Amino acid sequence: MKKFGLTTTLVFTTMVVAACGGGGDSTATQDNDGNVVADNEAEVTDLGSEDAEIELSFWLFGATGYPELAAEYVEENPDVSITFQEIDMEDHHNNLFTALSAGSGAPDMAAIEVSEIDGYKNAQDRFVNLYEMGADEIEGDYLDWVWEIGTDVEGDFLFGIPTDIGPTVMFYRADIFEEAGLPSEPEEVEALIQTWDDYRDAAQTVLDETGVVMAPNAETVYNAKRDQAPEQYFNESDELILEQSEFVKQAYDDTAQMIEDGYIGDYGMWTPEWGAAMDEGSYATLLAPAWMQGVIKGNAPDQENWRIAALPEGAGNWGGSWITVPSQTEHAEEAYEFLKWLLAPEQQLKAFENMGLFPSAPSVYEMPEFAEYTDEYFGGQNTAEVFANAALEVEHIHKGAQYGEVNTEILEGLNNVYDGIESEEEWEDILSRVQQRISR
Protein backbone atom coordinates (compact mmCIF):
# COMPACT_ATOMS: atom_id res chain seq x y z
CA MET A 1 0.00 0.00 0.00
CA LYS A 2 1.15 3.48 -0.78
CA LYS A 3 1.82 5.68 2.22
CA PHE A 4 1.91 9.42 2.04
CA GLY A 5 2.83 9.87 5.70
CA LEU A 6 3.00 13.24 7.44
CA THR A 7 2.40 15.89 4.83
CA THR A 8 1.28 19.47 5.17
CA THR A 9 -0.66 21.33 2.53
CA LEU A 10 -2.75 24.45 2.36
CA VAL A 11 -6.45 24.32 1.62
CA PHE A 12 -8.02 27.18 -0.28
CA THR A 13 -11.70 27.91 -0.13
CA THR A 14 -14.07 27.73 -3.07
CA MET A 15 -17.65 28.23 -1.95
CA VAL A 16 -19.37 30.26 0.73
CA VAL A 17 -22.26 29.01 2.84
CA ALA A 18 -24.11 30.89 5.55
CA ALA A 19 -24.55 29.71 9.11
CA CYS A 20 -28.11 29.05 10.16
CA GLY A 21 -29.93 28.74 13.45
CA GLY A 22 -28.66 29.12 16.98
CA GLY A 23 -28.18 32.86 16.96
CA GLY A 24 -24.93 33.34 15.08
CA ASP A 25 -23.90 35.54 12.19
CA SER A 26 -20.79 33.64 11.32
CA THR A 27 -19.96 32.51 7.83
CA ALA A 28 -17.60 29.85 6.62
CA THR A 29 -16.74 28.09 3.40
CA GLN A 30 -16.88 24.64 1.86
CA ASP A 31 -14.53 23.05 -0.62
CA ASN A 32 -15.66 20.92 -3.55
CA ASP A 33 -15.96 17.87 -1.30
CA GLY A 34 -18.34 19.66 1.06
CA ASN A 35 -15.73 20.11 3.75
CA VAL A 36 -16.19 23.32 5.73
CA VAL A 37 -13.04 25.41 6.06
CA ALA A 38 -12.31 29.03 7.00
CA ASP A 39 -12.23 32.02 4.72
CA ASN A 40 -8.49 32.12 5.16
CA GLU A 41 -5.95 29.33 4.95
CA ALA A 42 -6.08 26.20 7.09
CA GLU A 43 -3.16 23.86 7.72
CA VAL A 44 -4.01 20.33 6.71
CA THR A 45 -2.04 17.23 7.66
CA ASP A 46 -2.79 13.82 6.14
CA LEU A 47 -1.70 10.70 7.99
CA GLY A 48 -1.89 7.08 6.89
CA SER A 49 -2.47 5.16 3.70
CA GLU A 50 -4.50 6.36 0.75
CA ASP A 51 -5.94 2.82 0.68
CA ALA A 52 -7.10 2.85 4.30
CA GLU A 53 -10.66 1.57 4.75
CA ILE A 54 -11.52 4.18 7.39
CA GLU A 55 -10.83 7.84 6.61
CA LEU A 56 -11.24 10.12 9.64
CA SER A 57 -11.22 13.92 9.68
CA PHE A 58 -10.23 15.95 12.74
CA TRP A 59 -10.63 19.72 13.22
CA LEU A 60 -8.32 21.43 15.70
CA PHE A 61 -7.04 24.85 16.74
CA GLY A 62 -3.89 25.95 18.50
CA ALA A 63 -0.57 24.17 18.75
CA THR A 64 -1.37 20.68 20.00
CA GLY A 65 1.18 18.44 18.31
CA TYR A 66 -1.61 15.86 17.87
CA PRO A 67 -0.77 15.09 14.22
CA GLU A 68 2.74 14.10 15.27
CA LEU A 69 1.36 11.90 18.05
CA ALA A 70 -1.20 10.31 15.74
CA ALA A 71 1.49 9.12 13.32
CA GLU A 72 2.12 6.28 15.77
CA TYR A 73 -1.57 5.35 15.81
CA VAL A 74 -1.98 5.08 12.05
CA GLU A 75 1.26 3.10 11.86
CA GLU A 76 -0.25 0.56 14.27
CA ASN A 77 -3.70 0.76 12.63
CA PRO A 78 -3.07 0.71 8.85
CA ASP A 79 -6.79 0.48 8.09
CA VAL A 80 -7.23 4.04 9.46
CA SER A 81 -6.12 7.33 7.90
CA ILE A 82 -6.64 10.74 9.53
CA THR A 83 -6.79 14.21 8.03
CA PHE A 84 -6.15 17.04 10.48
CA GLN A 85 -7.35 20.58 9.76
CA GLU A 86 -5.83 23.21 12.05
CA ILE A 87 -6.86 26.86 12.09
CA ASP A 88 -7.21 29.71 14.59
CA MET A 89 -9.72 29.22 17.39
CA GLU A 90 -12.39 31.72 16.31
CA ASP A 91 -12.53 30.46 12.72
CA HIS A 92 -12.50 26.88 13.97
CA HIS A 93 -15.60 27.37 16.11
CA ASN A 94 -17.35 29.39 13.41
CA ASN A 95 -16.70 26.59 10.93
CA LEU A 96 -17.94 23.94 13.29
CA PHE A 97 -21.06 25.93 14.07
CA THR A 98 -21.68 26.37 10.35
CA ALA A 99 -21.28 22.68 9.56
CA LEU A 100 -23.48 21.55 12.44
CA SER A 101 -26.15 24.10 11.53
CA ALA A 102 -26.07 23.16 7.86
CA GLY A 103 -26.31 19.46 8.65
CA SER A 104 -23.35 18.59 6.44
CA GLY A 105 -19.63 19.16 6.20
CA ALA A 106 -18.73 18.43 9.82
CA PRO A 107 -15.64 16.35 10.57
CA ASP A 108 -15.55 13.02 12.37
CA MET A 109 -13.86 14.71 15.35
CA ALA A 110 -13.74 18.35 16.47
CA ALA A 111 -12.19 20.18 19.41
CA ILE A 112 -14.32 22.63 21.42
CA GLU A 113 -12.72 25.10 23.82
CA VAL A 114 -13.96 25.48 27.40
CA SER A 115 -15.44 28.94 26.81
CA GLU A 116 -17.50 27.59 23.89
CA ILE A 117 -18.63 24.15 24.99
CA ASP A 118 -21.75 25.15 26.94
CA GLY A 119 -23.03 26.98 23.85
CA TYR A 120 -22.96 23.71 21.90
CA LYS A 121 -24.86 21.77 24.55
CA ASN A 122 -28.14 23.16 23.22
CA ALA A 123 -27.51 21.15 20.06
CA GLN A 124 -27.19 17.71 21.68
CA ASP A 125 -28.56 15.90 18.64
CA ARG A 126 -25.64 17.18 16.58
CA PHE A 127 -23.16 15.10 18.61
CA VAL A 128 -22.55 11.46 19.40
CA ASN A 129 -23.10 10.60 23.06
CA LEU A 130 -19.69 9.16 23.84
CA TYR A 131 -21.14 7.23 26.77
CA GLU A 132 -22.86 5.09 24.12
CA MET A 133 -19.42 4.38 22.68
CA GLY A 134 -18.30 3.06 26.08
CA ALA A 135 -16.62 6.19 27.46
CA ASP A 136 -17.64 5.33 31.02
CA GLU A 137 -14.73 2.86 30.90
CA ILE A 138 -12.21 5.75 30.77
CA GLU A 139 -14.02 8.30 32.98
CA GLY A 140 -11.86 7.41 35.97
CA ASP A 141 -8.73 8.43 34.05
CA TYR A 142 -9.69 12.12 34.21
CA LEU A 143 -10.15 14.77 36.87
CA ASP A 144 -13.80 14.76 37.95
CA TRP A 145 -14.34 18.48 37.39
CA VAL A 146 -12.87 18.31 33.90
CA TRP A 147 -15.01 15.34 32.92
CA GLU A 148 -18.17 17.08 34.18
CA ILE A 149 -17.59 20.05 31.88
CA GLY A 150 -17.90 17.67 28.94
CA THR A 151 -21.33 16.32 30.02
CA ASP A 152 -24.85 17.70 30.14
CA VAL A 153 -26.25 18.92 33.47
CA GLU A 154 -27.78 15.52 34.24
CA GLY A 155 -24.48 13.76 33.48
CA ASP A 156 -26.14 11.41 31.01
CA PHE A 157 -24.73 12.75 27.75
CA LEU A 158 -20.98 13.04 27.13
CA PHE A 159 -20.11 15.59 24.46
CA GLY A 160 -16.35 15.24 24.48
CA ILE A 161 -13.23 13.74 26.02
CA PRO A 162 -10.92 16.21 27.81
CA THR A 163 -7.57 17.26 26.37
CA ASP A 164 -5.48 19.74 28.36
CA ILE A 165 -6.47 22.17 31.15
CA GLY A 166 -5.30 25.50 32.57
CA PRO A 167 -5.01 25.36 36.37
CA THR A 168 -4.29 28.84 37.72
CA VAL A 169 -1.40 29.98 39.91
CA MET A 170 0.36 33.18 40.93
CA PHE A 171 3.33 34.03 38.72
CA TYR A 172 5.46 36.65 40.48
CA ARG A 173 8.64 38.67 40.02
CA ALA A 174 11.20 37.67 42.65
CA ASP A 175 13.27 40.83 42.06
CA ILE A 176 10.30 43.12 42.84
CA PHE A 177 9.48 41.17 45.98
CA GLU A 178 13.14 41.46 47.07
CA GLU A 179 13.22 45.20 46.38
CA ALA A 180 10.09 45.57 48.49
CA GLY A 181 11.78 43.71 51.36
CA LEU A 182 9.48 40.71 51.03
CA PRO A 183 10.49 37.03 50.89
CA SER A 184 11.10 35.94 47.31
CA GLU A 185 11.61 32.16 47.30
CA PRO A 186 8.47 30.25 46.19
CA GLU A 187 7.98 28.44 49.49
CA GLU A 188 8.37 31.71 51.39
CA VAL A 189 5.97 33.55 49.11
CA GLU A 190 3.34 30.82 49.49
CA ALA A 191 3.69 31.11 53.27
CA LEU A 192 3.43 34.91 53.05
CA ILE A 193 0.40 35.07 50.74
CA GLN A 194 -2.17 32.46 51.78
CA THR A 195 -5.27 34.67 51.74
CA TRP A 196 -6.55 37.63 49.74
CA ASP A 197 -5.92 39.83 52.77
CA ASP A 198 -2.29 38.67 52.62
CA TYR A 199 -2.25 39.53 48.91
CA ARG A 200 -3.53 43.04 49.66
CA ASP A 201 -0.91 43.50 52.41
CA ALA A 202 1.87 42.45 50.04
CA ALA A 203 0.43 44.74 47.36
CA GLN A 204 0.57 47.72 49.72
CA THR A 205 4.19 46.92 50.63
CA VAL A 206 5.21 46.53 46.99
CA LEU A 207 3.49 49.81 46.10
CA ASP A 208 5.06 51.69 49.03
CA GLU A 209 8.58 50.35 48.56
CA THR A 210 8.87 50.10 44.76
CA GLY A 211 6.02 52.10 43.24
CA VAL A 212 5.04 49.02 41.21
CA VAL A 213 1.44 47.76 41.00
CA MET A 214 0.68 44.24 42.22
CA ALA A 215 -1.35 43.11 39.16
CA PRO A 216 -1.37 44.25 35.53
CA ASN A 217 -5.14 44.65 35.19
CA ALA A 218 -8.49 44.03 36.86
CA GLU A 219 -9.31 41.07 34.62
CA THR A 220 -6.70 38.72 36.05
CA VAL A 221 -7.57 39.55 39.65
CA TYR A 222 -11.32 39.28 39.09
CA ASN A 223 -10.94 36.01 37.17
CA ALA A 224 -8.94 34.48 40.02
CA LYS A 225 -11.50 35.45 42.65
CA ARG A 226 -14.53 34.57 40.47
CA ASP A 227 -13.18 31.10 39.75
CA GLN A 228 -12.95 30.33 43.48
CA ALA A 229 -16.69 30.87 43.89
CA PRO A 230 -19.00 27.85 44.29
CA GLU A 231 -21.45 29.40 41.79
CA GLN A 232 -21.13 32.08 39.16
CA TYR A 233 -23.58 33.68 36.71
CA PHE A 234 -26.21 30.98 36.05
CA ASN A 235 -27.69 28.06 37.98
CA GLU A 236 -28.02 24.61 36.38
CA SER A 237 -31.41 25.64 34.98
CA ASP A 238 -29.54 28.44 33.16
CA GLU A 239 -31.33 31.10 35.20
CA LEU A 240 -29.32 34.27 35.84
CA ILE A 241 -28.34 34.47 39.53
CA LEU A 242 -26.15 37.57 39.39
CA GLU A 243 -28.36 39.49 41.82
CA GLN A 244 -29.15 36.55 44.10
CA SER A 245 -25.66 35.13 44.56
CA GLU A 246 -23.20 36.94 46.81
CA PHE A 247 -20.04 35.44 45.35
CA VAL A 248 -19.70 37.26 42.04
CA LYS A 249 -20.61 40.59 43.62
CA GLN A 250 -17.95 39.99 46.27
CA ALA A 251 -15.33 39.23 43.59
CA TYR A 252 -16.35 42.43 41.79
CA ASP A 253 -16.28 44.53 44.99
CA ASP A 254 -12.88 43.20 46.08
CA THR A 255 -11.38 43.84 42.65
CA ALA A 256 -12.89 47.33 42.50
CA GLN A 257 -11.43 48.10 45.94
CA MET A 258 -7.96 47.01 44.79
CA ILE A 259 -8.32 49.30 41.77
CA GLU A 260 -9.24 52.20 44.06
CA ASP A 261 -6.30 51.39 46.37
CA GLY A 262 -3.87 51.59 43.45
CA TYR A 263 -2.83 47.93 43.49
CA ILE A 264 -3.97 47.22 39.93
CA GLY A 265 -2.55 48.67 36.71
CA ASP A 266 -4.03 49.35 33.30
CA TYR A 267 -2.13 46.90 31.11
CA GLY A 268 -4.91 45.37 29.02
CA MET A 269 -4.61 41.64 28.35
CA TRP A 270 -2.74 40.74 25.15
CA THR A 271 -1.76 44.35 24.40
CA PRO A 272 1.85 45.17 23.46
CA GLU A 273 2.07 47.22 26.66
CA TRP A 274 1.04 44.21 28.76
CA GLY A 275 3.68 42.06 27.13
CA ALA A 276 6.41 44.70 27.43
CA ALA A 277 5.56 45.29 31.10
CA MET A 278 6.04 41.56 31.68
CA ASP A 279 9.66 41.99 30.70
CA GLU A 280 10.23 45.40 32.27
CA GLY A 281 8.89 44.51 35.70
CA SER A 282 5.99 46.94 35.70
CA TYR A 283 3.81 44.63 37.80
CA ALA A 284 4.69 42.19 40.57
CA THR A 285 2.28 39.29 40.01
CA LEU A 286 0.29 37.71 37.23
CA LEU A 287 -2.62 35.48 38.32
CA ALA A 288 -2.86 33.14 35.36
CA PRO A 289 -3.07 29.55 34.08
CA ALA A 290 -0.35 27.01 33.35
CA TRP A 291 -0.26 27.84 29.66
CA MET A 292 0.82 31.40 30.50
CA GLN A 293 4.35 30.00 30.99
CA GLY A 294 4.92 30.13 27.24
CA VAL A 295 3.50 33.65 26.98
CA ILE A 296 5.84 34.91 29.71
CA LYS A 297 8.85 33.26 28.09
CA GLY A 298 7.88 34.73 24.74
CA ASN A 299 7.49 38.28 26.05
CA ALA A 300 10.43 38.19 28.45
CA PRO A 301 12.87 35.65 27.00
CA ASP A 302 15.90 36.95 28.89
CA GLN A 303 14.23 37.47 32.26
CA GLU A 304 15.51 35.43 35.20
CA ASN A 305 13.11 36.64 37.88
CA TRP A 306 9.72 35.06 37.19
CA ARG A 307 8.69 32.42 39.74
CA ILE A 308 5.48 30.52 40.52
CA ALA A 309 3.47 30.11 43.73
CA ALA A 310 -0.01 28.91 44.60
CA LEU A 311 -2.92 31.33 44.32
CA PRO A 312 -4.22 32.65 47.64
CA GLU A 313 -7.30 30.68 48.77
CA GLY A 314 -7.30 28.14 45.94
CA ALA A 315 -6.95 27.59 42.23
CA GLY A 316 -9.34 27.88 39.31
CA ASN A 317 -9.17 26.84 35.70
CA TRP A 318 -8.62 28.99 32.62
CA GLY A 319 -8.60 27.05 29.39
CA GLY A 320 -8.78 23.52 28.07
CA SER A 321 -10.67 21.70 25.32
CA TRP A 322 -12.82 18.65 24.71
CA ILE A 323 -12.81 16.50 21.58
CA THR A 324 -16.30 15.77 20.28
CA VAL A 325 -17.65 13.43 17.62
CA PRO A 326 -20.33 15.20 15.53
CA SER A 327 -23.31 12.99 14.74
CA GLN A 328 -22.74 13.49 10.99
CA THR A 329 -19.88 11.01 11.18
CA GLU A 330 -20.14 7.58 9.60
CA HIS A 331 -17.26 6.33 11.76
CA ALA A 332 -18.23 7.06 15.35
CA GLU A 333 -16.76 3.83 16.69
CA GLU A 334 -13.42 4.31 14.95
CA ALA A 335 -13.28 7.99 15.97
CA TYR A 336 -13.92 7.07 19.59
CA GLU A 337 -11.24 4.37 19.54
CA PHE A 338 -8.71 6.86 18.20
CA LEU A 339 -9.65 9.52 20.79
CA LYS A 340 -9.45 6.96 23.57
CA TRP A 341 -5.87 6.33 22.50
CA LEU A 342 -4.89 9.96 21.79
CA LEU A 343 -6.16 11.33 25.11
CA ALA A 344 -5.04 8.44 27.31
CA PRO A 345 -2.59 9.32 30.12
CA GLU A 346 0.40 7.96 28.18
CA GLN A 347 -0.26 10.28 25.24
CA GLN A 348 -1.09 13.20 27.55
CA LEU A 349 2.39 12.87 29.03
CA LYS A 350 3.87 13.07 25.52
CA ALA A 351 1.71 16.13 24.72
CA PHE A 352 3.02 17.77 27.90
CA GLU A 353 6.62 16.97 27.03
CA ASN A 354 6.28 17.96 23.37
CA MET A 355 3.94 20.97 23.48
CA GLY A 356 3.43 21.86 27.15
CA LEU A 357 -0.25 20.82 27.18
CA PHE A 358 -1.13 20.40 30.84
CA PRO A 359 -2.68 16.94 31.44
CA SER A 360 -6.30 16.45 32.49
CA ALA A 361 -5.46 12.87 33.53
CA PRO A 362 -4.13 12.99 37.13
CA SER A 363 -2.24 9.70 36.88
CA VAL A 364 0.26 11.62 34.73
CA TYR A 365 1.15 13.74 37.76
CA GLU A 366 2.69 10.65 39.37
CA MET A 367 4.75 9.60 36.35
CA PRO A 368 8.50 10.22 36.97
CA GLU A 369 8.95 12.17 33.72
CA PHE A 370 6.28 14.62 34.93
CA ALA A 371 6.83 14.60 38.68
CA GLU A 372 10.55 15.38 38.31
CA TYR A 373 10.07 18.08 35.66
CA THR A 374 11.87 21.35 36.41
CA ASP A 375 12.12 24.57 34.42
CA GLU A 376 15.33 26.61 34.49
CA TYR A 377 13.48 29.70 33.26
CA PHE A 378 11.57 29.72 36.55
CA GLY A 379 14.69 29.35 38.66
CA GLY A 380 14.78 25.56 38.35
CA GLN A 381 11.39 25.21 40.04
CA ASN A 382 9.39 22.01 39.78
CA THR A 383 6.67 23.89 37.95
CA ALA A 384 4.72 20.76 37.03
CA GLU A 385 4.15 20.01 40.71
CA VAL A 386 2.81 23.52 41.38
CA PHE A 387 0.34 23.27 38.50
CA ALA A 388 -0.65 19.71 39.42
CA ASN A 389 -1.46 20.76 42.97
CA ALA A 390 -3.58 23.58 41.54
CA ALA A 391 -5.41 21.21 39.18
CA LEU A 392 -6.35 18.93 42.07
CA GLU A 393 -7.99 21.86 43.93
CA VAL A 394 -10.43 22.93 41.21
CA GLU A 395 -14.17 22.30 41.56
CA HIS A 396 -16.67 22.07 38.71
CA ILE A 397 -18.85 25.18 38.25
CA HIS A 398 -21.79 25.35 35.87
CA LYS A 399 -21.32 28.24 33.43
CA GLY A 400 -24.14 28.18 30.89
CA ALA A 401 -24.38 29.16 27.23
CA GLN A 402 -24.48 32.93 27.93
CA TYR A 403 -21.61 32.96 30.41
CA GLY A 404 -19.32 34.87 28.06
CA GLU A 405 -21.81 37.68 27.54
CA VAL A 406 -22.19 38.28 31.28
CA ASN A 407 -18.46 38.08 31.84
CA THR A 408 -17.79 40.64 29.13
CA GLU A 409 -20.08 43.16 30.82
CA ILE A 410 -18.48 42.71 34.24
CA LEU A 411 -14.97 43.12 32.85
CA GLU A 412 -16.10 46.22 30.98
CA GLY A 413 -17.57 47.50 34.23
CA LEU A 414 -14.27 47.05 36.04
CA ASN A 415 -12.54 48.98 33.27
CA ASN A 416 -15.05 51.77 33.88
CA VAL A 417 -14.24 51.67 37.60
CA TYR A 418 -10.57 52.04 36.70
CA ASP A 419 -11.54 55.09 34.62
CA GLY A 420 -13.21 56.67 37.63
CA ILE A 421 -16.84 55.49 37.70
CA GLU A 422 -18.06 54.78 41.24
CA SER A 423 -18.18 50.99 41.69
CA GLU A 424 -21.76 50.66 43.04
CA GLU A 425 -23.11 52.91 40.31
CA GLU A 426 -21.25 50.82 37.76
CA TRP A 427 -22.58 47.56 39.22
CA GLU A 428 -26.16 48.74 38.68
CA ASP A 429 -25.27 49.57 35.08
CA ILE A 430 -23.71 46.12 34.66
CA LEU A 431 -26.92 44.45 35.82
CA SER A 432 -28.91 46.49 33.33
CA ARG A 433 -26.56 45.78 30.43
CA VAL A 434 -26.47 42.06 31.22
CA GLN A 435 -30.28 41.87 31.13
CA GLN A 436 -30.31 43.60 27.77
CA ARG A 437 -27.68 41.26 26.31
CA ILE A 438 -29.13 37.97 27.42
CA SER A 439 -32.67 38.99 26.43
CA ARG A 440 -31.77 39.53 22.76
Same domain, 346 and 413: no
Specify the 3-state DSSP secondary structure of 103. coil
- 284 by Cβ neighbours in 10 Å (0-12 / 13-18 / 19+) ranks as buried
13 inside domain: no
Same domain, 307 and 199: yes
CA distance 158 to 150: 6
CB 267 within 8 A of CB 273: yes
Same domain, 123 and 76: yes
| Nearest by Cα to 67 from 306, 281, 351, 395 | 351
Same domain, 388 and 402: yes
345 inside domain: yes
183 inside domain: yes
27 inside domain: no
Burial code (b: 16+ CB inside 10 Å, e: under 16) for 383-412 equals: bbbbbbebbebbeebbbbbbbbbbbebbbe
Q: What is the pTM of this model?
A: 0.87
CA distance 262 to 283: 12
- The CA distances from residue 1 to 5, 9, 331, in Å, are 12, 21, 22
Domain count, the chain: 2
Residue type at position 146: V
Domain range enclosing 297? 167-317+381-439
Same domain, 140 and 176: no
CB 219 within 8 A of CB 414: yes
Question: Within a 10 A sphere around the Cβ of 432, how many other Cβ atoms?
Answer: 11
Specify the 3-state DSSP secondary structure of 168. strand
Same domain, 145 and 270: no
Same domain, 151 and 181: no
365 inside domain: yes
Same domain, 198 and 289: yes
Of the candidates 328, 355, 372, which is a domain's last residue? 372
295 inside domain: yes
Same domain, 64 and 136: yes
Same domain, 207 and 334: no
CB 392 within 8 A of CB 363: no
Tens-level pLDDT at each residue, the chain (440 residues): 333 233 333 232 222 222 233 333 333 444 444 444 444 578 999 999 999 999 999 999 988 999 999 999 999 999 999 999 999 999 999 999 999 999 999 999 999 999 999 999 999 999 999 999 999 999 999 999 999 999 999 999 999 999 999 999 999 999 999 999 999 999 999 999 999 999 999 999 999 999 999 999 999 999 999 999 999 999 999 999 999 999 999 999 999 999 999 999 999 999 999 999 999 999 999 999 999 999 999 999 999 999 999 999 999 999 999 999 999 999 999 999 999 999 999 999 999 999 989 999 999 999 999 999 999 999 999 999 999 999 999 999 999 999 999 999 999 999 999 999 999 999 999 999 999 999 88
Same domain, 299 and 328: no
CA distance 309 to 136: 35
CATH of the domain at 266: 3.40.190.10
